[in-house]
Amino acid sequence: MKPALLIIDMIEEFVHGRLRSPSAEAIIPTIRMLAENARRHGIPVIYLIDNHLPFDRELSIWGPHALTHGEESGIVRELQPGEMDLVLQKRSYSGFRDTGLANVLRDLGVNTVVLTGIHTHICVLHTAIDAFYERFNIIVVSDAVAAFSESDHMYALEYMRKVLGAKVLNSAEVVETVMGGR
In the chain, the domains with their CATH numbers are 3-177 (3.40.50.850)
Each residue's pLDDT, cut to its tens digit, for the chain (182 residues) gives: 999 999 999 999 989 988 888 899 999 999 999 999 999 999 999 999 988 778 878 878 887 887 787 888 899 999 999 999 999 999 999 999 999 999 999 999 999 999 999 999 999 999 999 999 999 999 999 999 999 999 999 999 999 999 999 999 999 999 999 997 66
* DSSP secondary structure of 121-159: IIIIHHHHHHHHHTT-EEEEEEEEEE-SSHHHHHHHHHH
Residues in contact with 170: Cβ distance below 8 Å, sequence separation at least 6, in sequence order: 141, 142, 143
Q: Can you tell me the distance from the alpha carbon of 38 to that of 146, in angstroms, rounded to the nearest whole number?
A: 20
Question: β-strand 112-118 against 86-90: which pairing, if any?
Answer: unpaired
The answer to whether the Cα torsion of 6, 12, 17, 22 is positive or negative is: positive
* Beta-bridge partner residues of 15: none
* Beta-bridge partner residues of 156: none
pTM for this predicted structure: 0.95
Please state at what angle helix 150-164 crosses helix 125-133, rounded to 10 degrees. 10
